[in-house]
Structure 1
Amino acid sequence: MLREIHSAAELDEALDGSVSLDGFRLQNVDLSGSAGTRLREAADRFDGLVVLGGQVPGDLAMDLTRRGAIIFPADPGAPVDAYRHALYSPTELYDGLEPSGYEATPDARAYTWFGDCAARHDAYATALRALHDDSMRDALQEALDGRRTVGIMGGHAMSRDEAAFLEIAHLARRLAEAGLVVLTGGGPGAMEAANLGAADRTGRLDEALDVVAQVPSFRPDIGAWASAGFRAKELLGSGDDLRSVGIPTWFYGHEPPNVFGDAIAKYFSNALREDDLLAGSNDAVVVLEGAAGTVQEIFQSVTPLYYAPDDAPLPDLVLVGQRQWTEKVPVWPALTALSEGKRFAEHLHLVETPGEALDIVLARA
């Protein structure tokens, strides 16, 4: 049976009660101390034991390998930890922002690494990125397990000083207050508005909106945009409850992650990121104004609805902006044609305002 171990303390506890290490996956565990000594003495053979990254002294690595273990070493030269077992925090991705600027942050370094042509065609770097994204997927699923979630989709172009930004923030706050976890693409624009609204634990949302409006866009200065976000976030409070998650991608590295999600699941693969964002939205998907990326999300969310088994629970798909989705980007006629005679027709909605979308989502509660 597979068992993931994420820390030296967890390994000690597992060794106290285990008679076999077959199926153990040590993910980013520090084995440089007593936990490594105990592991070495725990069995004669380590067939079925896999060590993913972490701190593994050379002599221990050789001994475990000789006795049947498989070891995937960490790469200190990579800007990301391929074997991490937890989602990112905004402060982690933006470490070094003050005073060194955005280019010094782990987020910016990871984007540069991803975009480097040599790394892009390096099978080893590709493998590291794939391992990272699989670890991120695992961490996201663990974080959302058993929670009711609502995805809020929309483009990155919306400015912080637009009326629609305020509307979306208030919508997301209501959803979070109702006990729903808000999921977004994790970037600027409508995505940031939703994460920002969900983050309000103090009732000071309008003050925070005033702060970010002073730096309306991430262009041309991502650092100033992110710093204003952190200042606003201080007004909103913090807590152990999970109210929202941003799910961005380095594939769209020109769109920096917003700082308001309680956690960030950032991927290299946009395809995996899109799949996990939509699959994780189990109560509803609310689609705000956007362009090609948002249209892709609409049809990607429709596909599982179209082919869902008769007994499967279905989330609502709510499109906001009648002219947007019937005239400017006329996807609504295609959706209604696809839904004809299908069970998901009753879960498909076109409304004019975020407030109407809120009513539909809360009616499921």
Structure 2
Amino acid sequence: MSDQGSTPASERWYHKGPVLMRGRQVPRTTTDQRLLDDRGHADWLHTDPWRVLRIQAEFVEGFGALAKIGPAVSIFGSARTPVDSEWYATGVELGRRVSEAGYAVITGGGPGAMEAANKGAREAGGTSIGLGIELPFEAGLNPYVDLGINFRYFFARKTMFVKYSEGFLVLPGGFGTLDEVFEAVTLAQTGKVTSFPVVLIGVDYWSPLLDWLRGTVLAGGMIKEADVDRLHLTDDVDEAIEYLERESARVRPESSTEG
């Protein structure tokens, strides 16, 4: 702010980086003043500018930890899947088969179907990765995760799933699982990422969703047939792995030096 001592308060202006402030928005103290004079509280730790640094740190840590894992597949499913259920056993089998196919296994790191996939990967000698999220009702990463990252922010975590996976295998799940599925399909539909395979495992569970997409959303002109076709439905683990390998090889981008 230049020398504006004689300027009416309503006409004064102030530059804070790229931000222009006028009138009552002009601060009464400088940034240095506030830094040096403030001794009493830690409210600044919870301001949005400070959160930006924490968000940046999450991306840096995630990129650094996952940069060298090689080809990977994300396996999604409900944290509420019982250990003695059919879907838990299927999750273990998927984790094992994905590892044997030469992929690292990435899950959300929690219990249920995620734990099952990490367990299968660990038992097969593969790379078992968990991308956890800070939640009040979950107790950290499951014991079968060998490389784990805990995130504060869902959007940072979801970026890691998309960036480092060559495909998604999706067991029955709830809102979190649906969020990951539709995030991937939306990014592929809009061309934000190279289209990659999404396999829904569980015909009885997922068929009503696909029926609704075709009978209501597609019929209403909101999406195209090709958008629904991005979701491959099966009960067969062999078919899921074969489809994953075929489609991920088909759409895998050429290596590039672009940022």
CA gap of 1:341–1:160, structure 2 versus 1, over 3 A, is closer
Identify the match of residue 351 of structure 1 among 218, 223, 234: 234
CA gap of 1:191–1:129, structure 2 versus 1, over 3 A, is farther
Give the partner amino acid of 1:334: L
Q: Which of the pair has more CA radius of gyration?
A: 2
Identify the match of residue 176 of structure 1 among 99, 119, 138: 99
1:317 aligns with 2:198: yes
1:289 aligns with 2:195: no
Q: 2 CA distance for matches of 1:297 and 1:314?
A: 15
The CA deviation string for residues 129-180 of structure 1, in whole angstroms up to 9 with x for no partner, is 6544432322322333362111111110111122321221121112112221
Question: SS at the partner of 1:247?
Answer: strand
Contact 1:168 1:354 in 2 (8 A): no
1:138 aligns with 2:22: no
CA gap of 1:346–1:331, structure 2 versus 1, over 3 A, is closer
TM-superposed CA distance for 1:271, in Å, is 2.7
Count, aligned residues: 200
Give the partner amino acid of 1:262: D
Contact 1:286 1:320 in 2 (8 A): yes
Structure 1 segments unaligned to the other structure (5+ residues) = 1-117, 203-241
1:124 aligns with 2:124: no
Give the partner amino acid of 2:196: P
CA gap of 1:201–1:291, structure 2 versus 1, over 3 A, is closer
1:362 aligns with 2:245: yes
Give the partner amino acid of 2:101: A
Question: SS at the partner of 2:233?
Answer: strand
Question: SS at the partner of 1:266?
Answer: strand
Question: SS at the partner of 2:150?
Answer: coil
Give the partner amino acid of 1:319: L
Contact 1:136 1:265 in 2 (8 A): no
CA gap of 1:353–1:157, structure 2 versus 1, over 3 A, is farther
1:334 aligns with 2:213: yes
Paired-residue identity, %: 29
TM-superposed CA distance for 1:193, in Å, is 0.6
In the alignment, which residue of structure 1 is the partner of 2:84? 161
TM-score under structure 1 normalisation? 0.49
Structure 2 segments unaligned to the other structure (5+ residues) = 1-40, 250-259
Give the partner amino acid of 2:205: Q
Contact 2:201 2:234 in 1 (8 A): yes
Query: What is the aligned-residue RMSD (CA, Å)?
Result: 2.9
CA gap of 1:307–1:263, structure 2 versus 1, over 3 A, is same
Contact 2:188 2:194 in 1 (8 A): no
Give the partner amino acid of 1:195: N
Give the partner amino acid of 1:136: E
Q: 1 CA distance for matches of 2:210 and 2:183?
A: 13
Q: 2 CA distance for matches of 1:196 and 1:265?
A: 17
Q: 2 CA distance for matches of 1:177 and 1:194?
A: 13
CA gap of 1:162–1:269, structure 2 versus 1, over 3 A, is same
